[in-house]
């Protein structure tokens, strides 16, 4: 009997409730794995239905269609002669579980339910699933009739067990279980399990890849063994981006690394490994062997199948490699850009509309769209036919092939500078120059007629005309006159997003992009229903510090010299009158004064308070420390709106 095994893991861009599309991507990954010689294929968490189904998990149809996809997989010739490990929801004794279903040659070997559910930050798994709490125990699961006719099985094992193949032993973990203080792989490894698998639905957070890789390498360093991690990738329809990073490790070393950011819907990793390397590594660790001698055994499901072949002496082994990490600025340039692409193609819209103010935040958002265009062009140049088909659908031109990201940006991004009498020539020029350099279709317009009309209605009804503070008005008048400008920009943005392509003779509408960073959301430093109120906000989970680093990255790597002036300019909303044609109002949030006495987060009913913008001379400091504790998804965490900022925090009275 041989001892070299070839195993496969993958990252799939699955869509929530897209059962047919998900089935095809699963089959494609299995086919690729078999072509590479793998005899075990691991897929992401809940890959059959898609991870982000949320309350659709309550619906019986979700369970039914998942079973139908499983039946199609069992019946397909593609799944023959390879152990397939797929994820789906399963109802057992009227309790819904997040499960792995492992099958081989039309027979289900084991249904393994998740034992530790993710229920913090962006995750709410306890809302839809129940954890399996009976460690090292299994029950009989009665298969639905549609599966019994295929598998010729009436019942299959359901619970916490491992697979005993002819040549090795395989144990499963599911996502969160790797992150728990006492992960299942510890006890499984002590009981002789040599191959650990982890199916994840893990979303992107800046710098998270370091923790993910460390957990896997440390698990196999202390206990030895082979570890496979699969993950969802892309945007499955919600505000999260899942960042792939599939990997294979052995004895503390990485043997295969998947991409963290990619437009490929299916990515498969394989590695050929020697089981004797695991056995000899473990044999040298006396403390581990002493603990193993006292370990409680797992139920074993015997599998008459070998992952190795008899004649494998000359088969080459995979070599260890160093994991390549992205810098935080690179992560921002790639992750949100990939999320934008998925959101755009799945919304079936024709592009984006971005109010471009000439400041750092809106410039960063524009750079993300430009980065998206760069990745689309790169994927097309590399022969990705799915991306080519999607971009042709978006631009409504069947013979179009994108080559230049600037040219593509002109088709999918419309930027707009909305000037008022308080706008300066400097910000107008900076916005126009950045639009020219990235190639967006740029529009300049004046909102003063709309502002005067709205203020005129108020004056007509009340007989009073509000004034700015510099003209003798009160603080309330000053704030109201600023906010009406900001809110009119939101109304104008949505009007142009719906009709600007119609005016140009093109089909479709545009998604409105917001540009409010996470610090502004947590601090309440924004105008309610201004341009921060958008369809999607790709920088809504990123701090100002990281955003500035990202803009510096774009300046150097994308050759956009207009960003130099934007970075050097003082931050200003330009909502108050100019002084001799120059900016007199600056908005400065001090991120260097992260001290306990600084302004803390504003909370209203347990939710981040979104308060009316306070336009005073300010140097506000706050305790964010890189937005610690904030899940950095790509839409701002807007919840209930606080009706009165002064009642939330006295520091802003």
Q: Which residues are catalytic?
A: 45, 114, 175, 357
> In the block, which residue shows the tokens 């088969």?
315
Output the six-digit token pair for 562: 């207009």
Is residue 340 within 8 A of residue 364, CB to CB? The reply is no
Q: Is 57 helix (H, G, I), strand (E, B) or coil?
A: helix
**Beta strand pairing status for 138-142 and 511-512?**
unpaired
Residue 334 vs residues 86, 136, 233, 374, 553: alpha-carbon distances, Å = 28, 42, 13, 10, 12
DSSP-derived letter for residue 531 is T
Q: How far apart are CA 131 and CA 133, in angstroms?
A: 6
Largest distance between two CA atoms of the chain: 95
Sign of CA dihedral 24, 25, 29, 35: positive
Q: CA angle, 79 as apex, 77 and 82 as ends, to 5°?
A: 130
DSSP-derived letter for residue 597 is T
DSSP-derived letter for residue 580 is T
Residue 358 vs residues 226, 613, 633: alpha-carbon distances, Å = 51, 19, 25
- Chain Cα centroid distance, residue 388: 22
Is residue 447 within 8 A of residue 492, CB to CB? The reply is yes
Output the six-digit token pair for 118: 């993710």
**Beta strand pairing status for 300-302 and 162-164?**
parallel
DSSP 90-119: EEETTEEEEEEEEEETTEEEEEEE-SS---
Is residue 230 within 8 A of residue 42, CB to CB? The reply is yes
Q: Which residues contact 283 (CB under 8 A, 6 or more apart)?
A: 289
Q: Is 66 helix (H, G, I), strand (E, B) or coil?
A: helix
> In the block, which residue shows the tokens 């150097």?
556
Output the six-digit token pair for 129: 């699933």
Q: Which of 46, 58, 59 is nearest to 19 (CA)?
A: 46
Residue 533 vs residues 355, 515, 540, 541, 574: alpha-carbon distances, Å = 11, 9, 11, 15, 18
Helix (H) or strand (E) holding 546: helix 544-557
Helix (H) or strand (E) holding 606: none
Is residue 193 within 8 A of residue 136, CB to CB? The reply is no
Is residue 600 within 8 A of residue 625, CB to CB? The reply is no
Q: Which residues contact 75 (CB under 8 A, 6 or more apart)?
A: 106, 150
Compute, in degrees rounded to 10, the torsion defined by CA atoms 120, 205, 84, 48.
Answer: 70
Is residue 272 within 8 A of residue 313, CB to CB? The reply is no
Q: Which of 129, 88, 95, 80 is nearest to 112 (CA)?
A: 88
DSSP-derived letter for residue 297 is P
Q: Which of 347, 326, 322, 346 is nearest to 262 (CA)?
A: 326
Residue 301 β-bridge partners: 163
């Amino acid at each position: 009997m041989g001892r070299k095994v070839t195993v496969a893991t993958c990252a799939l861009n699955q869509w929530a409730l897209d059962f047919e599309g998900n089935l095809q991507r699963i089959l494609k990954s299995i086919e690729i794995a078999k072509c590479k010689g793998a005899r075990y294929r691991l897929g992401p968490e809940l890959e059959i239905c898609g991870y982000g189904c949320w309350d659709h998990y309550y619906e019986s149809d979700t369970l039914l269609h998942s079973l139908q996809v499983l039946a199609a997989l069992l019946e397909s010739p593609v799944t023959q002669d390879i152990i397939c490990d797929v994820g789906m929801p399963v109802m057992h004794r009227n309790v819904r579980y997040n499960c792995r279903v492992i099958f081989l040659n039309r027979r289900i070997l084991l249904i393994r339910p998740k034992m530790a559910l993710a229920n913090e930050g962006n995750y709410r798994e306890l809302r839809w699933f129940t954890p399996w709490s009976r460690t090292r125990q299994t029950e009989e699961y009665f298969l639905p009739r549609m599966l019994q006719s295929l598998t010729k099985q009436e019942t299959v094992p359901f619970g916490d067990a491992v697979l005993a193949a002819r040549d090795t032993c395989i144990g499963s973990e599911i996502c969160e279980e790797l992150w728990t203080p006492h992960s299942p792989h510890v006890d499984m490894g002590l009981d002789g399990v040599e191959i650990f698998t982890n199916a994840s639905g893990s979303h992107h957070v800046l710098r998270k890849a370091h923790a993910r890789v460390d957990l896997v390498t440390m698990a196999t360093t202390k206990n030895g063994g082979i570890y496979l991690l699969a993950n969802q990738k892309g945007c499955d329809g919600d505000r999260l981006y899942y960042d792939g990073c599939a990997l294979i490790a052995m004895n503390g070393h990485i043997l295969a690394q998947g991409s963290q950011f990619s437009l490929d819907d299916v990515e498969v990793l394989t590695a050929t490994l020697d089981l004797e390397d695991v056995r000899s590594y473990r044999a040298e660790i006396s403390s581990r062997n002493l603990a193993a001698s006292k370990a409680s055994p797992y139920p074993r499901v015997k599998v008459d199948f070998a992952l190795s072949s008899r004649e494998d002496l000359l088969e080459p082994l995979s070599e260890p490699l160093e994991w390549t990490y992205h810098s935080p600025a690179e992560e921002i340039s790639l992750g949100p850009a990939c999320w934008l692409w998925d959101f755009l193609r799945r919304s079936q819209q024709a592009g984006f509309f971005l109010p471009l103010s000439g400041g750092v935040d809106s410039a960063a958002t524009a750079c993300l769209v430009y980065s998206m265009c760069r990745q689309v062009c790169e994927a097309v140049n590399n022969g990705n036919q799915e991306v080519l088909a999607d971009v042709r659908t978006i631009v409504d031109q069947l013979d179009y092939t994108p080559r230049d990201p600037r040219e593509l940006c002109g088709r999918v991004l419309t930027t707009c500078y909305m000037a008022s009498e308080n706008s300066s020539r400097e910000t107008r020029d900076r916005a126009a120059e950045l639009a020219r350099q990235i190639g967006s279709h740029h529009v300049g317009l004046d909102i003063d007629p709309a502002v005067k009309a709205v203020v005129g209605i108020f004056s007509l009804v009340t007989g009073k005309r509000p004034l700015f503070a510099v003209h003798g008005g009160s603080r309330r008048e000053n704030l109201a006159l600023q906010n009406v400008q900001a809110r009119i920009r939101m109304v104008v943005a949505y009007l142009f997003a719906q009709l600007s392509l119609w005016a140009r003779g093109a089909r479709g509408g545009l998604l409105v992009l917001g540009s409010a960073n996470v610090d502004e959301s947590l601090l309440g430093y924004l105008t309610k229903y201004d341009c921060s109120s958008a369809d999607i906000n790709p920088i809504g989970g990123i701090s100002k510090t990281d955003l500035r680093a990202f803009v510096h990255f774009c300046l150097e790597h994308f050759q956009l010299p207009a960003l130099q002036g934007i970075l050097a300019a003082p931050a200003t909303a330009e909502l108050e009158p100019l002084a001799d044609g120059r900016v007199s109002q600056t908005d400065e949030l001090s991120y260097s004064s992260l001290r306990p006495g600084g302004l803390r987060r504003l909370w209203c009913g347990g939710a981040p308070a979104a308060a009316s913008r306070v336009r005073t001379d300010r140097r506000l400091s706050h305790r964010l420390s890189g937005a610690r504790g904030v899940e950095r998804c790509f839409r701002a965490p807007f919840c209930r709106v606080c009706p009165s900022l002064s009642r939330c925090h006295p520091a802003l009275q």
